[in-house]
Every structure is written in C-alpha cells, then in structure tokens.
C-alpha cells in the first residue's frame, strides 16, 4: 500500500479517535524509542487514541477487515500495514 491508501483507510476508522503519531524522522523515532525499521518512518504506521475505550472491539474488528496489524500499546493503539 502507499501512504495515500493508508491515510484513507485510517480516516475511515468507524469510531471517534485522535492520531498521536504518524510520520516520524529517524531522529524522532530514536527519541521516542521506536524500532529501527518502524512503519512510522515510511508513513505506513500510526498511533491512535480512542475517544471511548469501549470502542476497542470495533477498532480491532476494523483492523482485521482492512488487513491492518493492530497492537494495543496500553496508552494507544498502533496500526500499520504489516498485517
């Protein structure tokens, strides 16, 4: 997928959310403890916080339907195209 397709997919998440991290420079990725080959470096990964944690099941279902990998990082969900 390209970044445009990924952005459109993220925009279509069916529950209210905020993006907390998307595209990162290598420097910023290191500063926040990101892995060396983070999907944030190419814009094909993002972190989101749900407005309502009761929507967790909905975002997990959405990620599976869209063939996205979803990781519950505790304070946010990481989504990327590496399903």
- Please report which confidence band the pLDDT of residue 82 belongs to, taking 50, 70 and 90 as the band edges: confident
Q: Please name every residue paired with 79 in a beta bridge, in sequence order, or none if there are none.
A: 46, 70
Question: 69 pairs with which residues across the strands?
Answer: 80
- What's the confidence (pLDDT) of residue 40? 96
Two structure tokens written together for 37: 């080959």
Q: Is the pLDDT of residue 29 over 80?
A: yes
Res 73: pLDDT: 95
Residue 9 clears pLDDT 70, i.e. is over it: yes
What value does the mean pLDDT of the chain take?
Answer: 95
Residue 51: pLDDT band by 50, 70, 90 thresholds? very high
pLDDT at position 83 is 57
Q: How far apart are CA 22 and CA 49, in angstroms?
A: 12
């Amino acid at each position: 997928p390209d970044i445009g397709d990924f952005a459109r997919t993220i925009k279509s998440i069916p529950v209210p959310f905020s993006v907390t991290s998307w595209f990162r420079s290598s420097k910023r990725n290191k500063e926040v403890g990101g892995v060396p080959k983070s999907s944030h470096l190419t814009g094909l990964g993002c972190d989101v916080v749900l407005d309502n944690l009761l929507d967790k099941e909905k975002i997990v279902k959405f990620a599976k339907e869209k063939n996205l990998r979803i990781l519950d990082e505790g304070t946010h969900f990481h989504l990327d195209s590496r399903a």
